[in-house]
Structure 1
Amino acid sequence: QWAAGWPGTSVGTFGGVIEVIDFTESKDGKYRMLVKPDPTENKWPTQLRVGSKVFGWVMLDDVPIWWEVWRQLNGFPPNMPEDNKQKEEDIKPKTAGK
């Protein structure tokens, strides 16, 4: 009965900030993320702790539903929010002496 009356558990949303994402995926194609509570959101319940095996998702750019259906049917990657995009030269590895 610990979840009775919690509005967040019926919707399943607790705001958080991603701290770490594993570089490699697990056998079943999933990535592990370490998330800490978002200080601007409501507090997380004490029962929600490390090792709880909660499922989460990362919110990407807001798009119309027709765009998302079209994107998934055609296998295109999701839209990233503009402020999180890195310039291509920031991603490329630097070589010594150049």
Structure 2
Amino acid sequence: IQGTTHDGSKRVSIIHHPDVRRMLLTMKSQIEAMRAMIYFTAAELDYSRKSASTEDQKRHGDRVDLMTPIVKGWCSEVSQELTSIGLQI
């Protein structure tokens, strides 16, 4: 337990500090967004390999080709940012 509330009367745990709570929720939402993008891209990769028609395979493969660099780049940037936020907490 550290810090006090705004009126200065009672000590509170770190999770009850508004800025810490905001940072933790930011981290959680960004991680969930990264996970969703990764799962979407992985599903498209599976569809591109297992689709019955070559047209579907190409369509899903094109999505994988589009999403792979986006997922890698964005997840790398966000991971670095979230690590920085985590160190601040």
Q: Given the two structures, how large is their TM-score scaled by the length of structure 2?
A: 0.17
Of the two structures, which has the highest relative contact order with CA contacts closer than 8 Å and spacing of 6 or more? 2
Q: Which has the higher strand share?
A: 1
Q: Given the two structures, how large is their TM-score scaled by the length of structure 1?
A: 0.16
Q: Which has the higher helix share?
A: 2
